[in-house]
Each structure stands twice: as C-alpha cells, then as structure tokens.
Amino acid sequence: MNIINLIPNIIKVTFKKDTYLNNLIVCSDLSDVEKYENVKKICYLTSDKNISINDFVITNVEKVYNTNLIMIFLTKSDFIDQEDITYIIAGYESPITNESRVVCYSYGKIIQSTVDQHTDKDRENLSNAQKKGYQVHRNMYNQMYNIDRVLNQVETKYCIKNRSDEYFLDQDEYIEIMKNNNKLITNNLFFHGHDYYISDHLFGTNTIDFKKMILNLKDILENKKKIDQRYLSHTEKIFGISYICDKYSNDQLIKNQKEILNNNFYVYACDRFHDYLVTTMNVFIGNKRINTKYHKAPIIINTKYRVYIKKKSGYTDIDLTDSNSDIICDVRMRIMIINKIEDIVY
C-alpha cells in the first residue's frame, strides 16, 4: 500500500493489482491517514465505475479497470463552498476519469454527462442532427450535446465544464477568480483568442450565463441563430462566440475583438495549478518505426497518437523512437500558446 499526499486536500492511496477489500474500516486499517487533519470523507470507485461516498467506511470495494485500486481521501477545502458549484464532466469513461471525478468532487457536486457509450436515444438524436443539416463537423454537435443533455440537473450558483480525460489539482484560486469576475474563466490550452477561439477543456462561470451560453451554442449549431461564417470553422470559436453573441452586434464583435475578449474572458494558465494532466492528439511527420501494444514486432506507420502532459512530465500511448521528453516539451509549447489574455497578439 502506498500513500501519496498530492495536495493539502487530496490524499491518494494505491493498492496493488488484484487486491480485494471487504468491509475495510479506514480508521483502524489505514492508520497513516489519521495524521492528516480534517479528513472528512473518502471517495472510492467500485468496479461498476460508480462513485460511492461514506464517512471512513468502505464496503465491497473491488478492482477498478483491472489495474491499481485507487482510493482518494478528501479533506474539503475550508475556502470553497461546495454547495455553490457543479462540475459537468464531459466525455467517455477512462482510468483518468476516476482522478477527474474525485478532484472535482472535492470542490463541488459532479455530473458525469456520458458513461461508456451513448444510449440508443442519444445516437438517434445525433443521427437526426446530421440529417437535419446541423453543424456536426469537427465533433461540434456531440460536444454541445454532451453538456446540454444534463444541463437541467445543474441547480448550483456556478457551473464548471471539465473534460473526463483531464484533471487540474488545487482549484481554490481558479474558483475564487470565477466567483469574483463576471467572465468565463477558462485555461490556456489552445486559447489564442483570434475570432474568439477559446479553450473548451476547462471553463466555468455563474450558472445563469453558463446555461445561456450552451443554449446559444445549441441554437447556432441547429441554424436557429445566425453568426458570421468566420466563427463556424472550429468548435472552440463557437464556444467563445456563444458566450458573447447576445451582448454585441456582429459589427462590434468584428471591430472590438480585443476589448470584448478582455471584458468577457479570463485565461487561467495550467501552470498556475499545483499539477494537471491534459491530453491531445499528435501526429508523426513522415513514417517512423514504432512499438504498439497491438503488434508483436515494431511496425512502420504514419499515424496519430495521444500525448498526456503533466506539469513537469508526460507520456504517450505508444512507444516512440524519438525522445519522449522532447515530444512532451514540443507539444506543451504548441498547445499552451499564451499564459494570460494580455499575451494575445492582434
């Protein structure tokens, strides 16, 4: 058993693969945890991937994803009112989703917008969207749908959207900025600002404006609300324009971009978090020999692969012939373009 103190309000306990625990009493069996003050709750993930909460008691805990069993002890932040915030965790299940849900739970209520796959009704709705000529390219409609389908469950004062395959540790400052600014608080992943191209990986604001933004997004994608064509090329642009399109005319949006960005968006750089895990796709330039878990021998292929980036490290989902650290460094520089809104070059 290994206990790691990630940040003051999150303690991570890892058990080896194939370990089974039944009716474990945390107070007696995990005495090392007692030295951490204010440990109020334990969040654990069962084999059916549901979150269960209980004060200092675990029952019938089994393996998670056939890897390590991870339990997270949460010491709720003394500075954040968890009843104020709902996180919509958008995307499919993965081992990273476990970490993401636990981190989000330490700051507020959580809603998982999709589980392992869409239901028959979901697939029918997405199919109908394509038949009706809605804006479905670049996964636009699916991203909106995964938020909109659970939006009526949000009843708190603030709402934050978080990708299911990413997490951000120690969000006290991020949340305080969100509560004290009448802006959309996002991060710097791919955020370059031109034509209101924001980051859609993590963003939050008061729930009234959040719901209005998603309603505008839905209306734009379903061709009920008209916007300039320049904003339809990327999902990130439509997210950005959806937050402000009710406040300004089309001429104002074009002529006053710098002022509008400064007044409506706040960029919170990833490096301001204690740590984070973010992910993106990268692509080989030319053919290279690689090892994959699906082939017994190295193969030569020109393909995309996923890169996972942490604050001081990272990894890829396949073995590469190039230096892994060089790839992580290169991708980090390409996806974290600015650190604050003032860095945008017009």
Side-chain-facing half-sphere of 306: CA atoms under 13 Å: 7
**Residues paired with residue 307 on neighbouring β-strands, in sequence order:** 280, 316
**Amino acid at position 36, single letter:** Y
pLDDT bin (cut points 50, 70, 90) of residue 325 is confident
What is the pLDDT confidence band of residue 235, given thresholds at 50, 70 and 90? very high
Write out pLDDT tens, residues 24-61.
Answer: 323 323 334 444 333 333 333 333 333 333 332 332 23
Would you list the domain boundaries of the chain?
1-76, 80-271, 275-341
- Residues 10-23 have a mean pLDDT of 38
- pTM for the predicted model, two decimal places: 0.77
Interhelix angle 207-221/235-244, nearest 10 degrees: 120
Residue 278: pLDDT over 60: yes
pLDDT digit string, tens, across residues 159-197: 999 998 998 988 889 999 999 999 999 999 999 999 999
The residue among 340 and 118 whose pLDDT is bigger is: 340
pLDDT of residue 80: 64
Does residue 220 have a pLDDT over 70?
yes
Asked if residue 203 has pLDDT above 80, the reply is: yes
For residues 327 and 321, the answer to whether their CB atoms sit within 8 Å is no
Among 76-90, 149-163, 214-228, name the one with the lowest average pLDDT. 76-90
Quick check: helix, strand or coil at residue 279? strand
Question: Helix, strand, coil % (nearest 5) of the chain?
Answer: 35, 25, 40
Instruction: Give the integer Cα–Cα distance in Å for 205 and 198.
Output: 14
Find the angle CA(258)-CA(263)-CA(267) to the nearest 5 degrees.
85
- The CATH number for 80-271, chosen from 3.40.30, 1.25.40, 3.90.550, 2.60.40, is 3.90.550
C-alpha pair distances (Å), 312 with each of 65, 275, 315: 26, 8, 11
Write out the E strands in the chain.
2-7, 10-15, 24-25, 41-45, 51-54, 57-58, 69-74, 85-90, 109-112, 158-163, 167-169, 184-187, 202-206, 265-268, 275-283, 288-290, 299-301, 304-310, 314-316
Asked which of 166-175, 238-247, 263-272, 318-327 is least confident by mean pLDDT, the reply is: 318-327
Q: What pLDDT score was predicted for residue 132? A: 94
pLDDT digits (tens, 9 = 90+) for 64-100: 333 333 444 444 455 567 789 999 999 877 767 767 7
